[in-house]
Structure 1
Amino acid sequence: MTTDATVLAATRAERAALADDLADLTDAQWATPSLCGRWTVEDTVAHLTAAASVGPWRWVRSVLGARFDFDLHNDRRLAEHRGATPAETLARFRAIIGSTTSTWGPKQAWLGEVVVHGEDVRRPLGLVRTPPVEVTTEVARFVASRDFTVAGKTMSAGLRLVATDGPFTAGEGPEVTGPTLALVMAMAGRAAHLDALDGPGVATLRERLA
């Protein structure tokens, strides 16, 4: 993925795939805890809607209004974009599938957000989707290169990451191998995906995620 246009197209495709996967959930499934700590599936989807609805200056005002409490900032924006029912929450998410609104930062961050949060809600629900390898590779390279929204660079420091299903490699040190999506999720702080990884560096990741 060499252009913003291709990254944005992939972002739209991943949003659409997630919306389709969630179309037939029961109310109980919408209330399932996600991999995002205290957020449910519905909360996480509302957060994705908020992320694609708040531009840079409104984001600044929101953060200032929360006195730099980013949890409070996220909770306020999540509540704003959560519907009265799960069906309304999903409809609001579908409405931003093609959105190009976001705060500052590389377009890869938008793609990474929907890939990571998509897995955050699918895995607890038993839904399986592996995005195209070029998508997960783009996200893995981005996440490993910096601490931006998630501490991917810090999490993977001193380790050699090697994807078994694509071309992604990064770093030097004890090796961690596995599917690109599992590497992304581990770098994003999700311990649930460690079981899909192998190599002597997995113990280090497990300690960092403990």
Structure 2
Amino acid sequence: MPRADIWAAIHRERAALADELADLTTQQWSAPSLCGRWSVQEVVAHLTAAASTGRLRWIRSMLGARFDADLHNQRRMREHLGTGPAETLERFRATVTNTTAPSGHTPAWLGEIVVHGSDIRYPLGLAGTPALSAVTEVARFFAARDFTVSGRTATAGLHLQAIDGPFDTGTGPSVRGSTLALVMAMAGRAEYCAELSGPGAATLRERIGG
């Protein structure tokens, strides 16, 4: 996808998630997500931070955290966390059309909203799903390199086959599933491994700690 189309997809996915978040209860906002120890509200604040942090700010923040990415993410998340769900959502909505990012790896930032949107939707049972074209772009990026996630390492020697779209890459024992399930597994979300099949599925599950 051309870069302009990727940014347009990022903006659509952010807007769609924001609309879903508007209907959450207070209990749902405080529910655990699939993203480590973060609640749904904290993941939304992290998405706001990611959409607000350019290259220089990212470098300064990482230096301040002594290149501890977890500490960097925690500090920036807290910076963008509102006093309650309404303010957190308002801050996220304000970034929907931002084109700010720490680097020019635009598919990675599409992956940011696809993965974290699913981190929120999956445990809450929300019906929304990212567009297949967007998820396919992320799948190709994740499988080709270790950047924001260790997708290339996790899938080395495996043949990934999407059952709902054109994503098909690698050689070796096959791992089949929806494009989103493959993306989320590459992002280390073991919960999605239950949706995968094929002789390579157990290997992938083991590699991501599932």
Q: TM-score, normalised by structure 2?
A: 0.97
Runs of 4+ with deviation above 3 angstroms = none
Using the TM superposition, give the Cα deviation of residue 132 of structure 1 relative to its aligned residue in structure 2, in angstroms.
Answer: 2.1
- Give the distance between the partners of 1:58 and 1:82, measured in 2 at CA: 18
Partner Cα separation in structure 1 for residue 65 and residue 131 of structure 2: 37
Partner in structure 2 of residue 161 of structure 1: 160
Which 10-residue stretch deviates more, 116-125 or 100-109? 100-109
Gaps of 5+ in 1: none
Per the alignment, residue 43 of structure 1 pairs with 42
Q: Percent identity?
A: 64
- Give deviations 1:6-26, integer Å, cap 9, x for gaps: 000000000001001110111
Q: Distance in 1 between matches of 2:131 and 2:25?
A: 28
Secondary structure in 1 matching 2:175: strand
SS in 2 for 1:128: coil
Q: How far apart are the structure 2 equivalents of 1:104 and 1:159?
A: 29
Aligned partner of residue 45 in structure 2, secondary structure: helix
Shift of 1:67: 1.1
Partner of 2:203: 204
Partner deviation per Cα, 1:117-153 (whole Å, 9 max, x = no partner): 0000110111122222211111100110001110011
Superposed, 1:68-147 pairs within 5 Å as 68-147=67-146
Q: Per the alignment, in what secondary structure is the counterpart of residue 202 of structure 2?
A: helix
Q: Give 1:105 shift.
A: 3.3
**Could you give the per-residue CA deviations for residues 173-192 of structure 1, whole angstroms, max 9, x where no partner exists?**
10001100000000110000
Task: Name the amino acid aligned to 2:7.
Answer: L
Q: What is the rounded CA distance, in whole Å, between the counterparts of 2:120 and 2:148 in structure 1?
A: 18
Partner of 1:186: 185
**Could you tell me which residue of structure 2 aligns to residue 59 of structure 1?**
58
- 1:176 is paired with a residue whose SS is strand
Spell out, residue by residue over 1:12-47, the C-alpha distance to the aligned partner (whole angstroms, 9 max, x if none).
000001001110111111111110111110111100
| SS at structure 1 position matched to 2:103 | coil
Aligned residues: 209
Instruction: Tell me how far apart the structure 1 counterparts of residues 203 and 123 of structure 2 sit (CA, whole Å).
Output: 25
- Please report the TM-score for the alignment, with normalisation by the length of structure 1: 0.97
Superposed CA RMSD: 0.8
Give 1:72 shift.
Answer: 1.0
Q: Distance in 2 between matches of 1:167 and 1:59?
A: 34
Report matched runs for 1:10-49 at 5 Å.
Answer: 10-49=9-48
The alpha carbon displacement at 1:104 in A equals: 1.1
Separation in structure 1 between the aligned mates of residue 148 and residue 114 of structure 2, nearest angstrom:
13
- Matches of 1:144 and 1:129, distance apart in 2: 24
